[in-house]
Amino acid sequence: MSQKHLRPFRVVVSLIILVSVSALFVDYREFIPASWHQYILYPQFVPSLIRFITAPSVIASGFILVVLLSLLYGRVYCSFICPLGILQDLLGWLSGKLHIVRRYRFRKAMDYLRYPLLAVTAAFLLAGSMIVLNLLDPYSSFGRIFSDLVRPGVVVINNLLAGILEKMEVYFLFRVDMGLFTWRSVLIPILAVLLIVWLSLWHGRLYCNTVCPVGTVLGLLSRFSLFRIRMDASSCTKCGKCAARCKSTCIDVKNLKVDFSRCVGCCNCMAVCPESSIRYSLKTTAGAVAAPSTDTGKRDFIGKLVVGALALAGLKNKVWGQPVVKGEKGLIPNAKTNPVSPPGSISIKHFTDRCTACHLCVTVCPTHVLQPSFLEYGLKGISQPRMDYAVEYCNFECTLCSQVC
C-alpha cells in the first residue's frame, strides 16, 4: 500500500510546530499569553527532560512522548517536532527554489563524530555542567537564533513601518523598544546560523546526524523501533530516486538497506518512489533488513572517552568554576563580585545547572533587564541569561520569565 500521503502530513504538522514555536520568540507585541508557552513547548525533548528531572509532572513529560514515538516510528521528532530540524527542511526547500540543492547519495554514518560528541555531552552533564548541551541542543539553538537575531530584525521592520504610518496619521503599529544590542550576545547565534545554513544547503541533515546529541540519542532508540522504513526487494527497480531525495543520506539502494538510526522520518523517499517500494512496515515483516551489527570497539572507545571527560571535568579551576566579571568605569564605583541570576532561580549554581540558554525569558522580559551573558557566569554558564541593571530595571511583581521557563 502506498504511503505517499505521509509527506504532506509531515509538512502540515511541521509547519504548525515551526510557526507556533517561532511566534513565542518573535512575539514582541506579547499577543501570546505566558500560560500557553508550556503547552506549545511540551514536546521539546531537552527542556522537557530537564524540567521532569527537576520537578516531575504531567506537563513536563513531553520527552516521554518523544521516546515512545521513537520506539514506534523512529526519529519522527526530528522532522515533525524539532524546530531546528524543521528550519533545516525549510532551508533545503528554499535552496531547491534557488536551484542550489544538491543531489544526495548514500554515505556511511560518521559514528566517529556523533558518538564521541554524545559522550562528551553526557560526561559534562554528569559533572554538573550544561555548557555542551546548551551549545548543541537543537531547541536552545533555535531559541537563541530567533530571540537574538530574528526578533530584533522584526522589531526594526516594525519601527520603520510605524514611523511611515505615523506620518500618514495611522497608528495601527507603534514603535517598540529593542533593548540593548551587543556583539557578544549575538556571537554564538551567528556562528550557529552559519554552521546550520552551510550544512543544510550542502549536506542535508548532517547536523542532526553528527552534531546534535538529541538526534544521536533518538537514533539509538530507533534501532528498537517497532515500525521501520524498508525497501521491498520484489518491486524496487533501484532507480535511485529515493536516495537522491534522502537528506540523511542513509538509503543504500545497491544493497536495499536503510540506516534507520540516521533516518529522520521526512518521508521524502516515499513521495518520490514510482513503485511505492519504500514504506513503513513492522519489524517482523518478512524480508526486512536487519539493523547494522554492533561494533563493540565503538562502545569501548565511547566508554573510555566518558571516563576521560569526567576526569577533565573534575579538574575545576577559577576560570571554569567561578564567575568572571569585568568592572566598567562609571561615575560611581561598580564593585561586582557575582552576576545576578533571574528572579526565582534560587541560586547561581541552581540556575546554571538547569538553564538551557534558549533565551525565551530574554524575549518576554518587558524591560529587557534580562540579557544574554558571555563569561559573567564563567565558562560553564556561557550564553545563559543574567540580570543587567546597567541596562534597565526589573518590574515589581513581574513573573513572566519564570512563567515561560
Is residue 118 within a helix (H) or strand (E), and if so which, with residue range?
helix 111-126
Which residue, 315, 317, 305, 319, is CA-closest to 381? 319
pLDDT, tens digit, 9 for 90 and up, residues 90-132: 988 888 777 776 678 899 999 999 999 999 999 998 888 888 9
CB 22 within 8 A of CB 35: no
Residue 365 pLDDT class (50, 70, 90 cuts): confident
Which residue, 382, 358, 266, is CA-closest to 9? 266
Q: Answer whether residue 336 shows pLDDT above 60.
A: yes
- Cell 544590542 locates to 181
Mean pLDDT of the chain: 83
Structure confidence at residue 374 (pLDDT): 81
Grid cell locating 195: 554552521
CA atoms of 160 and 289, how far apart (whole Å)? 58
CB 161: neighbour CB atoms within 10 A?
Answer: 14
300-329 mean pLDDT: 48
Structure confidence at residue 173 (pLDDT): 85
CB 7 within 8 A of CB 20: no
The widest CA-to-CA distance across the chain, in whole angstroms, is: 81
158-176 mean pLDDT: 88
Q: What pTM was computed for the model? A: 0.81
Residue 77 pLDDT class (50, 70, 90 cuts): very high
Q: Answer whether residue 367 shows pLDDT above 80.
A: yes
Residue 64 pLDDT class (50, 70, 90 cuts): very high
Q: Which amino acid is at 316?
A: K
Question: Which range has highest mean pLDDT (42-56, 65-79, 192-206, 276-290)?
Answer: 65-79
Structure confidence at residue 140 (pLDDT): 93
Structure confidence at residue 354 (pLDDT): 85
Range in 172-176, 319-323, 329-333 the model is least confident about? 319-323
pLDDT, tens digit, 9 for 90 and up, residues 224-268: 999 999 998 888 999 989 999 899 999 999 999 999 999 999 999
| Contacts of residue 82, Cβ cutoff 8 Å, sequence gap at least 6 | 44, 45, 138, 139, 214
